[in-house]
A and B are shown apart, each in its own frame.
Chain A
Amino acid sequence: MKKNNLTLYLLLAPVLLWLILLIVLPHIDLFISSFKFENDEGIMVWSLNNYLAFFEDEIYWLTFLKTAFYSIAVTALAFAITFPVAFYLSKVVSLKYSGFMTLLLLIPIWVGELVTIYGWMILLSDNGVINHFLIYIGIIDTPINMLYTDFSMTIGLVYMSMLFMIIPVMSALDSLDDNLIEAASDLGASKWMIFKQIIIPYAMPGIASGSIIVFMLIIGDYVAPNILGGKSSLWFTEQIYNEFLATFNWNEGAAFGFMLLFLSSAIIWLALKLSGQKLERVGS
């Protein structure tokens, strides 16, 4: 018995060390330092000033609002674009091909986020592929400015997040009995009714977990807003980055980090409440 316990602890050790040293302790440290503030005499004191700064300076909370709004919009867009694909792959295509086609969806992940983003830059820049094509077929005379705007940022974010939406939705749809759709149609429901009353409610746990993953990924993303959105992107993670690395105000940065964690968790909690989902069911 004792020997078994030792084996168990040895097996758990790497994971526990990882969790405690790299996740729990840094969080505690940052949480403490987020309440520290350097007063006029240059002495560190306990204070709520770091958090108050978020509300007092409107650039901060406006940036957060924009980030939250775009994250929700990107989540919604990712759902709207991927749901038909998920439905097609799990219900329409024969089993023989659906595995292969799902594998194809993974390819952008193999390439990595940075390379995908550079790919989008080639497409969207002023002398990029899309502008070239539009000028070539004569729709426009001068290039449209697409890169370094909210538009290019949104495209990049949606593109990156689609996969994280499609997998949970597909797995929810996989277990949907085709007979349910047929039964609804047999009982007189139109295609739209079947979609609204049978398919969506059935896939809801998958949609919710996909949305949570995507929302969290997007609201905490740094690379795509920074590169594709350019200077005007004003993403909240960039504010945190600035506090840490531009102004070296680690206390402020820590406070902003925790604001992001609390506020995004609150948004998810609210969304789950509004859609009547339970976290336990979404997680399973």
Chain B
Amino acid sequence: MDYILEVKALKKVFPEFTAVHKIDFFVEEGGFFSILGPSGCGKTTLLRMIAGFEEETQGDIIINSKSMKNVPPEKRPVNIVFQSLALFPMMNVEKNVAFGLQRLKLSKDEINSRVNDMLKRVGLLGYEKKNISELSGGQKQRVALARSLVLKPSILLLDEPLSALDRKLREYMKVELKVLQKELGTTFIYITHDQSEALVMSDKIAVMNKGRFEQIDTPKNLYRNPKTAFVAGFVGENNPFDIQSYENNILTMKQGWSIVKKDLQIKPTKLFMRPEAFIINPSDDIENINRIEVTIKTVLFDGSNTKLAVNVNGTTDEIKVSLPQNAQFEDLCEGDAIILAVAYDDVKCYEE
């Protein structure tokens, strides 16, 4: 397998704290690789080290089988799209996009044709002479992408570029970015704290927490089989509970209620159940499921994303439950007593 980027035992220590603890990972050529983590987890520092703006304390970054030690940013085959976009305000769209090409000593015609091709690709043909201040948020986004992509970098680094856009536009740009990446075949490394951005766009996601990678996996695996409690809690919606004890295949919560989970090899302290893992009022003949008696606290109506917030009977523990898409349970209302069922397999336990 060809890796376009290899990061080996990378570490970054600032005077006050360690931003990145020994991190190892590989990125395949042409992939869409996301680094997902809460703010302050060290993901931006990691990206800036790959771009060459921060020097690593230890470890190595290898791009196209070449070590990037002591290679300045302007000599690296990577380009970055900043969170602030950093478009040059004193130049128009065309000059922004042509800026990098002019350093390559290309002929005027070649620069023009490459700028035009790229503007066409991002749908900005006809905007060449516009000033940056005349563009909308989405258009600025595209200029920033075009400015980097026109140089045909081996890797494009994106530092939360969608965070400044409003929700509608962000949803739209998500799809567009993914399509653009597939069309061009450029390797994208995308940094975000928004799990939905990462899940929708990426081929692979690394979940980062406190300077370490918790799990590197495909979006589906990350969602279905989170390896750590942090991943389970951070990626997708989840119902977390603290575990008091685990004996004879029975998990007892802090508040006294309990469910069955067979053959755990660890000493579990945390338990997660996805909102969509529950069956409401199951028939009596289903086996290998936990049955939990609950009372509906509120119905959180949100169209296709409608949820119930329920209390486990006799406790204040709250569970969020997704309702099936058909209108089967539409007449459920506050105060109703129901039974929730969850398969043994859908109960995820972690030792912390």
Residues of A within 8 A of B (CB): 177, 179-180, 182-190, 193, 197-198, 201-202, 204
Contacts and interface: CB of A to CB of B under 8 A. Distances in A.
A183 B90 contact: no
* Residue among B79, B86, B89 with max Cβ neighbours from chain A (10 Å): B86
A182 B53 CA distance: 8
A148 B319 CA distance: 89
A184 B79 CA distance: 10
* Residue among B78, B90, B151 with max Cβ neighbours from chain A (10 Å): B90
Given A177-B84, A193-B103, A186 B90 contact: no
A43 to B, nearest CB: 60
Nearest to A198: B88
B187 interface: no
Given A186-B73, A190-B103, 19 more contacts: A177-B84, A177-B86, A179-B82, A179-B86, A180-B86, A180-B88, A184-B99, A185-B73, A185-B74, A186-B74, A186-B79, A186-B80, A186-B148, A187-B74, A187-B148, A189-B74, A189-B103, A198-B88, A202-B89
A211 B140 CA distance: 33
Contacts of A204: 90
B51 A186 contact: yes
Contacts of B72: 185
A188 to B, nearest CB: 4
Contacts of B88: 180, 183-184, 198
A193 B88 CA distance: 13
19 contacts: A177-B86, A179-B82, A180-B86, A182-B53, A185-B74, A186-B52, A186-B53, A186-B78, A186-B79, A186-B80, A187-B79, A187-B99, A187-B147, A188-B100, A188-B151, A190-B74, A193-B103, A202-B90, A204-B90
Contacts of A177: 84, 86
Contact of A183 (B52, B82, B104, B151): B82
Nearest to A176: B89
Contacts of B51: 186
A278 B318 CA distance: 64
Contacts of B147: 187
Nearest to B52: A186
A282 to B, nearest CB: 14
A183 B86 CA distance: 7
Top 8 A-B pairs, shortest CB-CB distance: A187-B100, A179-B86, A183-B86, A188-B103, A201-B90, A179-B82, A188-B74, A185-B73
Interface string B81-102: 0101010111000000001100
A44 B103 CA distance: 68
Contacts of B82: 179, 182-183
A184 B147 CA distance: 10
Contacts of B86: 177, 179-180, 182-183
Contacts, number: 57
Nearest to B100: A187
A190 B100 CA distance: 11
Contacts of A179: 82, 84, 86
Interface string B56-81: 00000000000000001111001110
A177 B148 CA distance: 18
Given A177-B84, A179-B84, A182-B73, A188 B104 contact: yes
Contacts of A202: 89-90
A271 to B, nearest CB: 19
Contacts of B79: 186-187
A198 B74 CA distance: 15
Contacts of A198: 88
A169 to B, nearest CB: 16
Contacts of A184: 88, 99
A187 B103 contact: yes
Contacts of B80: 182-183, 186
Contacts of A182: 53, 73, 80, 82, 86
Nearest to B99: A187
Contacts of A186: 51-53, 73-74, 78-80, 148
Contacts of B103: 187-190, 193
B281 to A, nearest CB: 55
A197 B100 CA distance: 12
Contacts of A183: 80, 82, 86, 88
A207 B86 CA distance: 22
A189 B53 CA distance: 14
A23 B147 CA distance: 53
Contacts of B99: 184, 187, 189, 197
A189 B103 CA distance: 6
A201 B78 CA distance: 26
